[in-house]
Amino acid sequence: MFWYEHEIKRLEHRRAETTDEPETLFYGSSSIRLWTDLENDFKELRPVNLGFGGSTLAACAWFFERVMTGYQPKRLVLYAGDNDLGDGRHPEEIFIFFRDIAARVQKRFGPIPCYFISLKPSLSRWHLIEQFKFTNLIIATEINENWPNWQTIDIFSSMLGDDGRPRIDYFMDDGLHLSPKGYEVWKSVIQRQLNMHT
């Protein structure tokens, strides 16, 4: 995990340098990290962007305590797992990492409202789409059955076109990272779900 050290130190430094008390933590991979308008898009929820580039759900669990130091949020939004599958991990492994993070959140913050953003259907990882679907299914089932303070936010279906494939205009040229249009979809779907529980 040493290759994330620079990014983790950046997040630690950011917390040390600010006196703000964010109410909503957005935590996860580059889909969060690269959301440059996130803090404006959700300003009424007083958010902070705690994404770090290339991170896996495994890395989010590994660095959880360090990144969360100094925060006392009212809610947490998580997106990760995409890169785990891209790195060759199995859905069942990602399921275990999710349970690890959920337990860490419970221990540190108590039963605050938490949201898991479903894995997105990336163009560049379409060959893994059945694994993405299965991962989303088993995590959603786990949340429904065992974590009453968690909700799943389904962005998967909103990113598909009429042909059942990911819409090209929602992605950058690499077919993996979100375009401004893609972030508009995320903003709409996530806001709708958060507004139901705030």
Q: What is the pLDDT of residues 142-173, one digit of tens each?
A: 999 999 999 999 999 999 999 999 999 999 99
pLDDT digits (tens, 9 = 90+) for 12-68: 988 888 888 999 999 999 999 999 999 999 999 999 999 998 899 999 999 999 999
In angstroms, the CA 182 to CA 73 distance is 26
Q: Which CATH architecture describes the domain 2-193?
A: 3-Layer(aba) Sandwich (3.40)
pLDDT class for 1, splitting at 50, 70, 90?
A: low
Whether this prediction's pTM lies above 0.85 is answered by yes
The closest of 82, 48, 58 to 3, measured between CA atoms, is 58
Show me where the domains of the chain are located: 2-193
